[in-house]
C-alpha cells in the first residue's frame, strides 16, 4: 500500500490510489479497540517514476453546458436575449461538469426543453423590429422568399454551428423555412422554424471537436481548434474574427498566438475563468444550500448566490485585474462582500443604503483569522452540515480540491457513530478524537480532521465563533507535520504547499479536456506546473501556456465505423406507436436477453447495440 504522508512530504502526490490511507476492512474491525495495529504506519517510501511520453486523449463530443448554451446564443444574437431556464441540467461526473459534458447525452426531457427553448428564442428574435433587423438582413419580396431565407441562414449559420455550412445543409434549412412560411402564410414565421431547427441541431448542442486524421493521430485545426479555444477561454463560441482566420486555414503559428493573445485580452476571458472556477471548486452545489432558519437567522435564500459571487469576484480580481500570484487566493485578506456577507464577516460595508446585490471590495482586519478562499462562506457553509460544522468535510475539500489528493470513501462495514456531547466530550474536537484514534478510521481521518478541525472557529454558515458548546475552541493542529495556530496559519501553509499550484494546473487541464483520468498525461501536467511557477503563478499565463502547448492540438485517432442502417429507415411518418418502439430499439438498453425470441426485424440491431461500456 502506498503511504500517504511520505508522498505528500515530497510534494509528489498529484493523485493517490484509492487504496491509499485505507486500512484493511476485512474482516470487520472492532472500532472500539483503539489499540489494534495502525495499518497506515508502514514506512515504505514510494516515489512515483518520472512521467512517460504524453498520450493524447480520444476526442469526445462535448455537450454545451448551460452557461455555454446561454453564451452561445447571447454572443450570436445579442446580450439582452432572454434564455429560458428550463434546460437539461449539467451532469457532474467525477466531481466535474466538464467531465460530465464529454460523457453525457441529451435526455427525453432535455430534448423537449431544448425544443421549447428554441421556439421561444426564435419568436423573441423576430418580435422587436430593432432586433429583427439584426436577424433578417434582407427585405422579403413575398411570404416565401428563398433568397432572403438563405441570407438569414448564411448570416448566422456559421456562428451557430461554429463552422461553415455545407450547401445541402443550407438547402434543407431553406426548404423548411419555405414550407413553414407557406403553411403559416408569413415569412417571419418561416424564419422562426429555420432558427428553431438550428438551435435543436446536435451540430449546435454538441461541440464537434474531433480533429483531422494525420500520421496515426488527430490534429485540431481550423474551425475545431477555434471552437476548442473559445469554449476554454471564453466559455462561449468563436467570434467572427476567429472564424475568419480559421476558415482561411491560418489558425496556426504566429497567427494562432496572436489570436490567443487577443482572446486573453478580451473581457469574455472572465467567463472562461468563471466556468473553470465553478467547476473546480464545485460552486454549483451552493444552489442546494439550506440552513435551519431558527438556528441561523443570518441565512436567507440569497446566501448561496452571494457566497458564489464572492469567490468569483476575488478570483477575477487576483487573476485578471491584478494579474497577480494566484496563491493569493488562499491567503489574501481582501475580499468582495455584499451587505449580507459583510455582516456575516463582521466588517463594515463601505456604502450606505446599497442594494443587496451590490458588492464592494473590503480588507478583512488582521486580527481575524479569516483568510482567502477557505475563509469564505462558500467553503465554510458548503462543507458543513445543515446545523453543525463538519471538520471531516472541510478537510476532505482541502485535500481533494486544493491539494488534489484522492481520499477514498469510508470502508464498508464500519460503525461511524461519534459520541454525543457530554461532560467529557463537549466539543466536536473531543468527540471526533475517536475517529483520529480508532485503527479503522485514523488512516484517513487524521488526514482530513487535522485540517478540518482548524476551521472550528467558523460555524456551519461561516460566522466566527470563539467557543463550541461553551468551551473555548482550540483550533491548533498540523498539516502533514507543519504546525498551525489558526485558520490564517492553514492558509499560509497551503499557499506555500507545492501541491497547490500543481493542483490548479491539473484542474485547468481537466477543464480544458473534459477527461477525468490524466495519469498518462503527467508529462504535460508537470510542464504546466513548472511554467506556472516560473511565471509567478499567474493564471492568465498558465491558460496561455496550456492552449499554445503542443498537446492542445493533439488527439488520439479513433476508428469511424460505418453507420448501421436505421431499424426505422423510411418510417419517419409511420404510426406514432411503432415509430416510438423502433426509436427506443435504437438505444442500447435492450440487451440480448430481452430479445432471445428474435422474431422481429429490429432485433438484430438490438443485439449489436449490447451494453454501454
Partner 1 sequence: MKTLSRRTVLRGVVGGMGVSIALPWLEAMTDRTKRARGDGSAFPKRFGMWFFGNGVLPEQWLPAQEGAGWQPSPLLMPLAAMREHLTLVTGTRVATLNTVPHGSGPAGLLTGDSLAGNEFNNGSSFRGATIDQRIAASIGGETRFRSIETAVQTAQYSLAHVAANQRVPCEADPRALFNRLFGDGFRAPGEMTMPDPRLGLRRSVLDAVSSQSRALSSRVSAEDRRRLDQHYTSLRALESQLARLESNPPNLASCRRPDAPPETIADLMGRPDMRLRSRLMSELKAMALGCDITRVFFHMYSQPVNNTLFQGAPAGHHQLTHDELGDQPQVAAIIRIILEDFAGFLQALSRIPEGDETLLDHTMVLCTTDCSYGRTHSLDEYPLIFAGGRSHGLRRGTHLRARGENICKVSLSILQLMGLRASEFGVGPGRVTEPLSGLSV
Binding mask 201-230 toward partner 1 (x if CB under 8 A, else -) reads xxx-xx-x-x--------------------
Please identify, among the stretches 105-113, 248-256, 262-270, 337-345, the one whose residues bind partner 1 according to the rule CB under 8 A. Answer: 105-113
Q: How far apart are the C-alpha atoms of 452 and 477, rounded to whole Å?
A: 9
Q: Is 601 in the site for partner 1 (CB under 8 A)?
A: no
Q: What is the enclosing helix (H) or strand (E) of 585? A: helix 576-585
Positions in 501-560 near partner 1 (CB under 8 A): 558-560
Lookup: cell for 526: 508537470
Contact assessment for residue 426 and residue 473, using Cβ atoms and an 8 Å cutoff: no
Cβ 530 to partner 1 shortest distance, Å: 29
Cβ 305 to partner 1 shortest distance, Å: 15
Cβ 317 to partner 1 shortest distance, Å: 28
Which of 180/539 has CB closer to partner 1? 180
Contact assessment for residue 272 and residue 232, using Cβ atoms and an 8 Å cutoff: yes
Lookup: cell for 385: 452540515
Contact assessment for residue 414 and residue 25, using Cβ atoms and an 8 Å cutoff: yes
Contact assessment for residue 607 and residue 595, using Cβ atoms and an 8 Å cutoff: yes
Positions in 444-473 near partner 1 (CB under 8 A): none
Q: How far apart are the C-alpha atoms of 416 and 170, rounded to whole Å?
A: 62
Q: How far apart are the C-alpha atoms of 449 and 455, rounded to whole Å?
A: 10
Lookup: cell for 63: 455537450
Cβ 271 to partner 1 shortest distance, Å: 22
Q: Is 167 in the site for partner 1 (CB under 8 A)?
A: no
Q: Is 142 in the site for partner 1 (CB under 8 A)?
A: no
Which of 52/202 has CB closer to partner 1? 202
Q: Is 594 in the site for partner 1 (CB under 8 A)?
A: yes
Cβ 366 to partner 1 shortest distance, Å: 34
Cβ 518 to partner 1 shortest distance, Å: 15
The strand pair at 360-363 and 467-468 is best described as unpaired
Cβ 34 to partner 1 shortest distance, Å: 17
Please identify, among the stretches 242-250, 260-268, 406-414, 499-507, the one whose residues bind partner 1 according to the rule CB under 8 A. Answer: 406-414
Q: Is 134 in the site for partner 1 (CB under 8 A)?
A: no
**Which of 10, 30, 52, 109 touches partner 1 by CB under 8 A?**
109
Please identify, among the stretches 32-40, 173-181, 338-346, 464-472, the one whose residues bind partner 1 according to the rule CB under 8 A. Answer: 173-181
Please identify, among the stretches 93-101, 230-238, 259-267, 538-546, the one whose residues bind partner 1 according to the rule CB under 8 A. Answer: 93-101
Contact assessment for residue 328 and residue 372, using Cβ atoms and an 8 Å cutoff: yes
Please identify, among the stretches 42-50, 133-141, 404-412, 536-544, the one whose residues bind partner 1 according to the rule CB under 8 A. Answer: 404-412
**Which of 40, 68, 149, 197 touches partner 1 by CB under 8 A?**
197
Q: Where are the alpha helices (DSSP H) in 453-561?
A: 487-496, 499-513, 522-534, 539-548
Residue 590 CB partners (closer than 8 Å, separation 6+)? 584, 606, 609
Positions in 410-449 near partner 1 (CB under 8 A): 410, 412-420
Cβ 569 to partner 1 shortest distance, Å: 10
Binding mask 354-393 toward partner 1 (x if CB under 8 A, else -) reads -------------------------------xxxx-x---
Please identify, among the stretches 58-66, 130-138, 472-480, 520-528, the one whose residues bind partner 1 according to the rule CB under 8 A. Answer: 58-66
Q: How far apart are the C-alpha atoms of 399 and 374, rounded to whole Å?
A: 12
Binding mask 550-589 toward partner 1 (x if CB under 8 A, else -) reads --------xxxx-x--x-x---x--xxxxxxxxxxxxxxx
Binding mask 256-295 toward partner 1 (x if CB under 8 A, else -) reads --------------------------x-----x-xxxxx-
Q: Three-state SS string across 141-190, please?
A: CCCCCHHHHHHHHHHHHHHHHCCCCCHHHHHHHHHHHHHHHHHHCCHHHH
Residue 565 CB partners (closer than 8 Å, separation 6+)? none
CA 389 to centroid of chain Cα atoms = 26
Cβ 508 to partner 1 shortest distance, Å: 19
Grid cell 449539467 is found at 90
Cβ 549 to partner 1 shortest distance, Å: 23
Cβ 51 to partner 1 shortest distance, Å: 23
Please identify, among the stretches 5-13, 90-98, 463-471, 523-531, the one whose residues bind partner 1 according to the rule CB under 8 A. Answer: 90-98
Q: What is the enclosing helix (H) or strand (E) of 214? A: strand 212-214
Which of 211/238 has CB closer to partner 1? 211
Please name which of 359, 274, 261 lies closest in space to residue 319, comparing C-alpha atoms: 274
Contact assessment for residue 245 and residue 227, using Cβ atoms and an 8 Å cutoff: no
Contact assessment for residue 469 and residue 478, using Cβ atoms and an 8 Å cutoff: no
**Which of 69, 77, 187, 193 touches partner 1 by CB under 8 A?**
193
Which of 179/361 has CB closer to partner 1? 179
Cβ 293 to partner 1 shortest distance, Å: 3
Q: How far apart are the C-alpha atoms of 310 and 284, rounded to whole Å?
A: 14
Q: How far is CA 385 from CA 80, 284, 380, 409, in A?
A: 39, 17, 10, 18
Contact assessment for residue 101 and residue 514, using Cβ atoms and an 8 Å cutoff: yes
Q: How far apart are the C-alpha atoms of 429 and 450, rounded to whole Å?
A: 10
Amino acid at each position: 500500500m502506498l503511504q500517504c504522508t511520505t508522498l505528500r512530504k515530497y510534494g509528489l502526490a498529484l493523485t493517490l490510489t484509492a487504496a491509499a490511507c485505507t486500512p484493511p476492512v476485512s474482516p470487520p474491525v472492532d472500532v472500539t479497540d483503539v489499540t489494534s495495529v495502525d495499518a497506515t504506519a508502514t514506512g515504505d517510501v514510494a516515489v512515483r517514476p518520472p512521467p512517460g511520453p504524453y498520450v493524447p486523449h480520444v476526442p469526445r463530443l462535448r455537450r454545451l453546458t448551460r452557461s455555454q448554451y446561454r453564451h452561445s446564443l447571447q454572443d450570436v444574437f445579442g446580450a439582452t436575449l432572454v434564455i429560458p431556464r428550463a434546460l437539461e441540467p449539467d451532469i457532474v461526473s467525477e466531481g466535474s461538469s466538464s467531465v460530465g459534458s464529454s460523457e453525457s447525452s441529451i435526455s427525453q426531457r432535455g430534448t423537449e426543453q431544448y425544443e421549447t427553448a428554441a421556439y421561444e428564442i426564435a419568436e423573441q428574435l423576430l418580435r422587436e423590429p430593432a432586433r429583427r433587423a439584426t436577424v433578417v438582413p434582407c427585405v422579403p419580396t413575398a411570404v416565401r422568399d428563398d433568397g432572403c431565407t438563405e441570407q438569414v441562414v448564411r448570416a448566422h449559420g456559421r456562428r451557430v454551428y461554429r463552422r461553415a455550412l455545407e450547401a445541402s445543409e443550407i438547402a434543407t434549412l431553406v426548404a423548411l423555412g419555405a414550407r413553414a412560411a407557406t403553411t403559416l402564410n408569413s415569412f417571419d414565421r418561416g424564419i422562426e422554424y429555420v432558427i428553431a431547427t438550428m438551435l435543436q441541431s446536435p451540430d449546435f448542442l454538441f461541440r464537434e471537436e474531433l480533429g483531422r486524421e494525420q500520421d496515426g493521430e488527430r490534429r485540431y485545426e481550423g474551425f475545431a481548434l477555434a471552437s476548442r479555444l473559445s469554449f476554454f477561454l471564453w466559455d462561449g463560441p468563436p467570434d467572427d474574427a476567429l472564424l475568419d482566420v480559421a476558415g482561411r486555414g491560418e489558425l496556426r503559428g504566429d497567427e494562432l498566438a496572436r489570436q490567443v493573445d487577443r482572446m486573453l485580452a478580451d473581457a469574455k476571458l472572465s467567463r472562461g475563468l468563471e466556468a473553470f472556477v465553478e467547476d473546480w471548486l464545485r460552486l454549483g452545489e451552493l444552489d442546494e444550500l439550506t440552513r435551519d432558519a431558527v438556528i441561523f437567522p443570518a441565512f436567507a435564500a440569497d446566501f448561496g448566490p452571494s457566497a458564489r459571487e464572492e469567490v468569483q469576484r476575488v478570483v477575477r480580481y487576483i487573476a485578471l485585474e491584478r494579474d497577480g500570484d494566484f496563491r493569493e487566493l488562499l491567503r489574501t485578506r481582501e475580499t468582495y462582500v455584499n451587505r449580507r456577507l459583510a455582516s456575516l464577516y463582521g466588517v463594515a460595508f463601505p456604502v450606505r443604503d446599497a442594494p443587496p446585490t451590490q458588492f464592494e471590495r473590503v480588507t478583512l482586519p488582521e486580527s481575524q483569522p479569516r483568510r482567502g478562499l477557505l475563509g469564505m462562506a462558500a467553503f465554510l457553509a458548503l462543507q458543513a452540515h445543515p446545523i453543525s460544522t463538519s471538520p471531516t468535510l472541510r478537510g476532505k475539500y482541502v485535500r481533494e480540491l486544493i491539494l488534489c489528493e484522492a481520499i477514498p470513501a469510508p470502508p464498508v462495514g464500519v460503525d461511524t457513530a461519534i459520541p454525543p456531547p457530554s461532560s467529557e466530550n463537549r466539543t466536536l474536537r473531543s468527540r471526533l478524537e475517536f475517529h483520529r484514534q480508532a485503527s479503522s478510521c485514523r488512516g484517513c481521518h487524521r488526514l482530513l480532521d487535522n485540517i478540518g478541525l482548524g476551521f472550528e472557529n467558523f460555524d456551519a454558515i461561516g460566522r466566527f465563533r470563539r467557543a463550541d458548546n461553551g468551551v473555548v475552541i482550540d483550533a491548533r493542529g498540523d498539516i502533514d507535520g507543519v504546525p498551525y495556530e489558526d485558520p490564517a496559519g492553514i492558509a499560509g501553509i497551503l499557499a506555500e504547499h507545492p501541491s497547490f499550484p500543481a493542483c490548479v494546473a491539473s484542474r485547468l487541464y481537466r477543464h480544458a479536456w473534459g477527461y477525468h483520468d490524466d495519469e498518462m498525461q503527467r508529462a504535460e501536467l508537470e510542464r504546466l506546473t513548472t511554467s506556472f511557477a516560473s511565471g509567478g503563478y499567474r493564471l492568465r499565463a498558465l491558460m496561455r501556456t496550456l492552449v499554445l502547448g503542443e498537446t492542445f492540438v493533439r488527439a488520439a485517432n479513433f476508428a469511424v465505423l460505418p453507420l448501421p442502417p436505421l431499424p426505422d429507415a423510411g418510417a419517419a411518418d409511420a404510426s406514432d406507436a411503432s415509430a416510438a418502439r423502433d426509436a427506443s430499439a435504437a438505444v442500447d438498453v435492450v440487451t440480448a436477453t430481452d430479445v432471445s425470441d428474435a422474431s422481429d426485424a429490429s432485433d438484430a440491431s438490438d443485439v449489436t447495440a449490447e451494453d454501454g461500456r
